[in-house]
Amino acid sequence: MRIVFATSEANPYIKSGGLADVLGSLPKALVQKGHECIVVLPKYQDMKLADTLEYVTNYDIWVGWRKCYCGVFKAEYDGVTYYFIDNEQYFRRPGLYGYDDDNERFAYFDFAVLELLSHIDIKPDILHLHDWQTAMIATLYKERYAYYEYYQGIKIVFTIHNIAYQGKCDPALLSDHFGLDNYLYYNGNCRNDGCFNMMKAAIYYSDIITTVSPTYAQEILTDSFGEGLQNILQMRRHDLYGILNGIDYETINPATDPEIVEHFDITNVDEKKVINKLALQKECGLPENKDVPLIGIVTRLTWQKGLDLIINRMEELMKRDVQVVILGAGDQKYEEPLKGIAAYHNQKLSLNLKYDFGLSCRIYAGCDMFLMPSLFEPCGLSQMMSLRYGTIPIVRETGGLKDSVEPYDEYKNTGDGFSFKNYNAHEMMDIIDYALKVYQDKEKWQGLVHRAMEAKLDWDKSADAYLKVFNSLLD
């Protein structure tokens, strides 16, 4: 089948978060299974590999009452065809998001994706949309484009990567940006909580809705996690599927990673991982000691990621025989207290307030444990990367963390990580203490590390699950 993915970011060209990782890996996995995959995304100023793009064509499109230029560029990577929508007014600026006119920018992109299908004749069997930036493609298709002969028969799949970001805006933009009648707002199709809600519209109009883990698919049906969309999701619950994301085992591989000091695999992890640990301790200014447990944290410093729990228990954690490396940046209310703790405990805590891909790889490779106590986590990729590198995750049982980490059972000698249920600092500290206790038994710990590296969290199984959903629509 032919699958067209519409997305605001995709590896290896542009990335701000996990969405880019998914759109860099899922199409590649589907191509390997014999399907044609096309990814459409904006041509940003900060794109990588820009010199590999090939000009295709240009034409004008209408965005509400605006007549806009639309240029098209093309590239191929790992068997996947990428098309880039070029408009310097909207996309020739630093970064991806955070501008006052983001709603207009992605309204333009939504029209551009639909027009692209007919202009270069790439009508898909499945049009796969991702998050609020492409959500209105579903509405535009069902309310306008589906009536044209060329567009008939396309099936729409919408994936929710994070329901907290919904594309909420003024109801007037429904007609101003999208040229659609206001009755779609007043009849509730595009209205939620007193505003125009793009994600609500996509949930209403799409043929299938997916999200990025089975547990998260159940969580967003509740008042606690639904972010106001739980009612419409309950209505569509029979069309809602949770499919766990994977990671690309070819690029995320401790046996070939150019960013780490010593390559290793499951056959020599017991001897080689400690070399990475000592190198990481030296790089981060911590005492070099192969026996002290080293805990890594790679995260955005935001409320979602469990920073309240971490800061609440950090002083207590510093009383243990342990070292901690933190990499990330974010809200000042979390950065400032961490700075104070790191200054006082500079022999135990290394705080790196930045984004550094190379250092993140060395943390995955060199640490013994990886702490990820998220308040909510649709899927999460960091825990999968830590498993791949033989670093044992300590997670809260939510979303994809629950689906990808099997809790350690000392009686059956099974599991590849540690987890706690409630969003509670004392529970988190208790499970960290338990992990530190197990760490002292080297035989048990080596078994954990080996099971972690044996965990199969690549895209093969997930790609099959997506194909099953796609085929259910076509059948």
What pLDDT is attached to residue 149? 95
What is the Cα–Cα distance from 320 to 436, expressed in whole angstroms? Answer: 9
Burial 378-393 (b: 16+ CB within 10 A, else e): bbbbbbbbbbbbbbbb
One domain, residues 178 and 295: no
Q: Please state, rounded to an integer, the average pLDDT across all residues of the chain.
A: 95
- In the chain, how many domains are there? 2
Does 37 map to a domain? yes
What pLDDT is attached to residue 251? 87
What is the Cα–Cα distance from 80 to 357, expressed in whole angstroms? Answer: 24
Looking at the DSSP bridge assignments, the partners of residue 62 are 67
Closest CA to 130 of 154, 151, 109: 109
324 — pLDDT class (breaks 50, 70, 90): very high
What is the Cα–Cα distance from 196 to 187, expressed in whole angstroms? Answer: 12
Give Cα 401 to chain centroid, integer Å.
Answer: 12
Distances (CA, A) of 363 to 6, 267, 415: 33, 20, 22
One domain, residues 208 and 318: no
What is the average per-residue pLDDT within 405-413? 95
- Tell me the pLDDT tens digit for each residue of 355-397: 898 999 999 999 999 999 999 999 999 999 999 999 999 999 9
What pLDDT is attached to residue 18? 86
Distances (CA, A) of 51 to 90, 91, 127: 20, 17, 28
Does 222 map to a domain? yes
What is the average per-residue pLDDT within 324-351? 95
Closest CA to 211 of 166, 247, 241: 241
One domain, residues 436 and 466: no
Other Cβ atoms less than 10 A from the Cβ of 404: the count is 26
Phi, then psi, of 130 in degrees rounded to 5: -135, 115
What pLDDT is attached to residue 105? 97
Element (H, E) at 296: strand 294-298
Does 35 map to a domain? yes
What is the Cα–Cα distance from 138 to 233, expressed in whole angstroms? Answer: 16
Does 261 map to a domain? no
pLDDT at 223 over 90: yes
What pLDDT is attached to residue 17? 82
One domain, residues 321 and 199: no
Q: Could you tell me what percent of the chain has a pLDDT over 90?
A: 96
Taking the complete model, does pTM exceed 0.85, yes or no?
yes
Q: Is residue 15 part of an annotated ligand binding site?
A: yes
One domain, residues 310 and 205: no
Give Cα 162 to chain centroid, integer Å.
Answer: 8
Q: Under a CB-based contact definition with an 8 Å cutoff, are residues 49 and 13 in contact? A: yes
What is the Cα–Cα distance from 96 to 352, expressed in whole angstroms? Answer: 24
Q: Under a CB-based contact definition with an 8 Å cutoff, are residues 1 and 35 in contact? A: yes
Q: Under a CB-based contact definition with an 8 Å cutoff, are residues 73 and 43 in contact? A: yes
What pLDDT is attached to residue 13? 96
Other Cβ atoms less than 10 A from the Cβ of 345: the count is 18
What pLDDT is attached to residue 154? 97
Print the domain residue range for 88. 2-246+460-474
What pLDDT is attached to residue 469? 97
CATH of the domain at 105: 3.40.50.2000
One domain, residues 160 and 284: no
One domain, residues 156 and 69: yes
- Tell me the pLDDT tens digit for each residue of 13-27: 999 888 999 999 999
One domain, residues 198 and 273: no
What is the average per-residue pLDDT within 217-233? 96
Distances (CA, A) of 348 to 294, 298, 318, 333, 443: 9, 17, 7, 22, 26
What pLDDT is attached to residue 475? 78
Does 256 map to a domain? no
Burial of residue 113, with CB atoms counted within 10 A of its CB: 0-12 exposed, 13-18 middle, 19 or more buried: buried
One domain, residues 410 and 470: no
Does 288 map to a domain? yes
One domain, residues 346 and 398: yes
What pLDDT is attached to residue 322? 97
45 — pLDDT class (breaks 50, 70, 90): very high
Alpha helices (runs of H) in 67-143, residue ranges in sequence order: 88-91, 102-119, 136-143
- Considering Cα of 414, then 418, then 423, then 428, what sign does the dihedral take? positive
- Tell me the pLDDT tens digit for each residue of 277-297: 999 999 999 999 999 999 999
pLDDT at 33 over 90: yes
244 — pLDDT class (breaks 50, 70, 90): very high
One domain, residues 79 and 42: yes
| DSSP of 366-381 | H-SEEEE--S--SS-S
156 — pLDDT class (breaks 50, 70, 90): very high
Q: Under a CB-based contact definition with an 8 Å cutoff, are residues 213 and 403 in contact? A: yes
Burial of residue 422, with CB atoms counted within 10 A of its CB: 0-12 exposed, 13-18 middle, 19 or more buried: exposed
What pLDDT is attached to residue 37? 98
- Tell me the pLDDT tens digit for each residue of 418-449: 999 999 999 999 999 999 999 999 999 999 99
One domain, residues 375 and 442: yes
Does 258 map to a domain? no
Does 414 map to a domain? yes
Closest CA to 442 of 430, 454, 450: 450
The single-letter DSSP state of residue 152 is T
Closest CA to 205 of 197, 213, 216, 195: 197
